Structure 1
Amino acid sequence: MQRVVIVGAGPAGVRAAETLVAAGVVPVVIDEAPRAGGQIYRQPPADAGFARSKRTLYGMEAGKADAVHSTMAKMLPKLNYRPDTLVWGCGAGQLDTFHAGRQRTVPYSHLLIATGATDRILPFPGWTLPGVYTLGAAQIALKAQGCSIGRRVVFAGTGPLLYLVAYQYAKAGAQVEAVLDTNPFSRQFAATPRLLRQPSTFAKGLYYVGWLAARGVRIERGVTLVCATGDKAVQAMTYRDGDREFTIPCDAIGFGYGLRSETQLADLAGCRFRFDPLNRAWLPERDTAGRTSVPGVYLAGDGAGIAGADAAELAGCRAALAMLEDLGHRTANAQAHAMKLDRQLTSIAKFRIGLEQAFAPPLDCASHWPDDMTVCRCEEIDAGTLRRCIRGGEASEINRLKALTRVGMGRCQGRMCGAAAAELLSAEMGKPIAEVGRLRGQAPIKPVPLSIALMAEMDEAPDHLAAIPEHARDE
C-alpha cells in the first residue's frame, strides 16, 4: 500500500505537497507548528489576540510568505494535514507522533523529511542568563507572540540572520543597541563575487545593513564576544575589538552563528551520513533529487543542508518529482521541470559558498572558553568537566564524551550543545571537527510525556515482558 508522508510544512514541505497533490497523490502532512509556514514564514496563532500584516511580519519576503500560506490553504481539502503534531520517533516504515496528549503511529511507504534547521550555538560566559535568546527564538517571539525579547536589545554572532533579525526588531520599534558581528568586513568583502550570483538576495542584505546604519544602530565587525553579565537577568554585553573591551548595557541579547540542519529524524530513519565541510556538520547523504540511502526516504530544505527559503521551495518540488517517479506516476514535462530545478539549485549552492565564506563561525572559540562556563545547560555540564574527561584519555569521540559526561542527553538532545561539545573536543584533541564523530539520534528526539515513551517501549517489548504483571515489572 502506498502511503506518502511529509514531515514539515515550511517552504519545502508545502511545495512538495503541492507537487504531489497536482499529480493526484493525497499526502499526510505532519507539522509541529499550529499553522503552516515553517520558521521563516511562521504565522501567528489563529487566536493570537493581535493583528499584524504580512508586510509587517515578513518585510520584503511578504509576497513569498503569502504565496506559501495561500498554497497550503487551498490544498487543505486535498491532503491529510496534521498540525500541532510532534514526530518524536521513526522506525521501519512508521513514525511515532504526539498530538493533544495522545501517541499515534503513522505508517508510510514514502517519507519526505523537511524538518528545517535550528540555530548553531557557540556559547559564551553568561549565555544561560535570563534574557539571552537565540536569533531563532527572537524571531519566534516577534512573529508568533507579537512581542520583543526586550526593550534594549543587542544582537550578536554572525550570519545573514543576524542582520535580518536586527532589522526586523528595529522596524518593529525595539531599541537595537548594537549588532556585533564576529566576522571582519574584509572577509565579507572578499566573498562579494560569489554573493553576486544572487544579486537580489545580496542587495537585500546590503539594504538591511544600510537601513540599520542610517538609523544610528551601532554595527561592529570582527569582534569577540566576551560575556553577558547581570544579577538575576542579563544587564550588559561585553565584547572585545582588538585589545580593547567595550560593554553595552541591555536587557536582552539575541545571538547565533548561522544555522544547523535538523537531522535527527533522518538518523532514526536509517539514512547514511557524511561530513559536509561547507556546513561544518554531518548531513544525511542524498542525490540531487533528494533521495537518501534508504529507499523511499527523501530530504528537502534546510534539513538536508542550509540553503535558505528559496532553495527549500525548489528542493521540495524536486524531491516530490523524484517521489512521483519512484511511485510510478508519469507527469507531463516532469523531466524538463526537474532539470530546471536542478539548475536553479546549483546556482543557489554556489551563492551559498559565498555566504559561508562571509559569515564563517569563529573556529578557535572553544579553546578560549573558561572551565566554569556551561556548555550543556540541560544537564549543567561545564567546559571544565568536558576537558577533564578528554584530557584524561577517557573520550576521543563525541558519543563517548556524551556517555561519560551526559552532554547532549538532556531535553534538547544536543541541539543547543552538540556543536559546542564537538568544537571543544576537536580543539582539545587537535583533530579536525570531521574526525570527532557525530552525536547519534535517539528517540524521543524531542521531549514527550514519560508515559508516551514508556507506552512505545512496551509496544516493542518481547512477549515474555508483556506477560509480567504491571506491578512486578520494576522488581
Structure 2
Amino acid sequence: MAEPRIIIVGAGPSGVRAAEAVVKAGLRPTVIDEARRAGGQIYRRQPDNFTRPYEKLYGTEAARAKALHDSFDALQGQMDYLPETLVWNIADQQVWTVSGNAHQTLPYDALILCTGATDRLMPIKGWNLAGTYSLGGAQVALKSQAVSIGREVVFMGSGPLLYLVASQYVQAGAKVAAVLDTSPSGARIKALPDLLALPSVLWNGIQLTRALAKAGVAVHHQITPVEVVGKADSGVTAVRYRTASGAEQTIACDAVAVGYHLRPETQLADLARCAFVFDPATHQWLPQRDEAGRASVEGVYLAGDGAKILGARSAEASGKLAALAALSDLAIVTGEGEMNPLRREVATYTKFARGLAKAFPWPASQAAGLPDEAIVCRCEAVSAGDLRSVMRETGAVEANRAKAFSRVGMGRCQGRYCGLAAAELIAAEAGIAVEQVGRLRGQAPVKPLPIAIGVEE
C-alpha cells in the first residue's frame, strides 16, 4: 500500500511541529514554504552571514525560537522540503506551486495549512506615502536586513505586535519617536481575567512596555490617527493624531509603522473550499474547524495563526494537533491520548486571545471617519470617496460587488491589506453590520506569478 501523501504548507511554528509529528509517525511529509528558511515571521531567521545572538533577535522568545529552528533542522533528510516555493492554488486535491520559473502540481491525501498571518491595517490619510510600513514590514527589515525603516520612527496602531516591534527597534539602537496606541489603557484592566490565563505571556508584555519607558519612549493611549504628513516626492515628514481629549498633536518623523494586531492568511483555505464563519470579537471571517483543526472539507486541516490569531506558542500546539488529527483520520496513529492535552493547551491560548481582543480592540469606527481623499486600496489607488460614490451610484453593499465596481481589493495584495477596512467603511456608509457586507472571495493565483513559467514534470 502506498504511503499517504501529507503536504504541509508553511514552515513557521505550526508547520514545524506538524512536520515533526508526521515524521515521528514514520511518514515523509512534503513541507512547502515561501521563505528561504524555516521559522515563519515571528521566528524569522537572519541571513547566514549575520551573527546577532538569539537574545537580540527574539528577546524573551529566544529559547523557543532556537528550539523550533533546531527541531526543524533535525528533520532534514526525513521530509521533502521545498523552500522559496509559493502555493498559488488548491484544486482537485492538489496544490499548485511555483518556485522560480518552475511550476509543479502535487497531489495530497492530507493537507495541513499552516499559512500564518499578516498585518491587519486600517487606512489613514497619507498612508500611501513612501516611508509608511506595516509593523510586520518594519520587523522584517530589522530581522532580515538589520536596518531601521527610518532615522526617527513612529509606531502607531494597537496590539502586542505594536509594542514588540517598537521594543525590538529600541534594543537594536534605532530612534523611536513615539508609540501611538488607539486602545484605551483602561481596556486592559477589563481584559485582565482573560489575560491571566497565561501569566508568563502577560508578564512578557508588561516587560516590553517597561523597556520602552526605560528608554524614554513616549507612549500615548486612546489616540485617533489623523494623517501621515509628507510629500509625494520625499515621503513621510510627520504624523498627526488626536489625543483622548480631542487635542490635535503632530510628531516629526521620517517613517511610520502601522498595524492593528494581525489577520490570518486564509486565501488557501478559501481556495480549498473551506467554510468560513464570522468572529464578532475580532470582526473577521475565519475558516471553520473543529477542536483538532479539521476543516469543513475532508482531508484539509488548519493550524496556527492562519486559522485564528492565537500566537506562536499556540501555533506549535495546534500544528502538532492538526497533524495528529490527520494521522488519525488516515489510520496511521490513534493519538487521542496525546491530542487531549493539546486541545486544552489551545483552549487556554484561546482565552488569552479573547483578552487581547478586549484589551486592543480593532478600531472599526475609524473607517467611518476616513476623509474622502484618503486612499483605502493602495494597490489600485481607490479612495474612501471612490468607494462611497460607487455605493451611492450602484447600491453595492456586498464586498465582492463593491470590488467589481470600484476595484478595491483587485491589486497585488488581493485585499489582504484593504479588505477588512473597506468592509467596515461599506458597513458604516450603508448603516448595516459588517458581517452583512461579507468577505472578499479568494482568487487564484493568490499572489502574482511570473508570466514565463515552465512546467516541472
TM range (shorter): over 0.9
Code of the aligned partner of 2:202: F
Aligned to 2:317: 314
Code of the aligned partner of 2:13: P
CA contact (8 A) 1:35 1:45 kept: no
Aligned to 1:305: 308
Aligned to 2:359: 358
- Deviation for aligned residue 1:379: 0.9
- Deviation for aligned residue 1:269: 0.7
Aligned to 1:144: 144
Code of the aligned partner of 1:413: Q
- Deviation for aligned residue 1:282: 0.9
Residue 39 of structure 2 is aligned with which of 34, 37, 55?
37
Equivalent residue pairs, number: 451
Residue 285 of structure 1 is aligned with which of 288, 292, 299?
288
Name segments (4+ residues, structure 1) moved above 4 Å. Answer: none
Residue 30 of structure 2 is aligned with which of 7, 28, 41?
28
Aligned to 2:186: 186
CA contact (8 A) 2:275 2:287 kept: yes
- Deviation for aligned residue 1:363: 1.7
- Deviation for aligned residue 1:372: 1.0
SS for the counterpart of 1:295 is coil
- Deviation for aligned residue 1:377: 1.0
- Deviation for aligned residue 1:396: 1.4
Q: Does 1:258 align with 2:261?
A: yes
| Distance in 1 (alpha carbons) for counterparts of 2:443 and 2:254 | 36
| Distance in 1 (alpha carbons) for counterparts of 2:443 and 2:296 | 19
Superposition map of 1:30-179 within 5 A: 30-46=32-48, 49-179=49-179
- The normalised TM-score by structure 1 is 0.93
SS for the counterpart of 1:202 is helix
Aligned to 2:421: 420
- Deviation for aligned residue 1:378: 0.8
Q: Deviations over 1:364-406 (max 9, x none)?
A: 1111111111111111111111001112243010000011111
Q: Deviations over 1:64-110 (max 9, x none)?
A: 00011000000011000000001111101111111122111111111
Unaligned runs of 5+ in 2: none
**Percent of aligned pairs with the same residue?**
52
| Distance in 2 (alpha carbons) for counterparts of 1:345 and 1:109 | 25
CA contact (8 A) 1:236 1:248 kept: yes
CA contact (8 A) 1:34 1:45 kept: no
Code of the aligned partner of 1:389: V
Aligned to 1:468: none
Q: Does 1:367 align with 2:359?
A: no
Q: Deviations over 1:183-226 (max 9, x none)?
A: 11111222112111110000011111011112210000000011
Code of the aligned partner of 2:94: Q
Aligned to 1:470: none
SS for the counterpart of 2:75 is helix
CA RMSD of aligned residues (A): 1.3
| Distance in 1 (alpha carbons) for counterparts of 2:274 and 2:362 | 27
Aligned to 1:345: 346
- Deviation for aligned residue 1:434: 0.8
CA contact (8 A) 2:230 2:238 kept: yes
| Distance in 2 (alpha carbons) for counterparts of 1:67 and 1:278 | 33
CA contact (8 A) 1:88 1:446 kept: yes
Q: Deviations over 1:15-53 (max 9, x none)?
A: 00000100101000000000000000001233xx43211
Aligned to 2:9: 7
Pick which of 391-400 and 130-139 moved more.
391-400
Q: CA, structure 1 residues 175+4, in 2 after alignment: closer, same or farther (shift >3 Å)?
A: same
Pick which of 386-395 and 112-121 moved more.
386-395
Code of the aligned partner of 1:409: M
CA contact (8 A) 2:101 2:452 kept: no
Aligned to 1:212: 212
CA contact (8 A) 1:260 1:279 kept: no
| Distance in 1 (alpha carbons) for counterparts of 2:271 and 2:440 | 12
| Distance in 1 (alpha carbons) for counterparts of 2:298 and 2:193 | 39
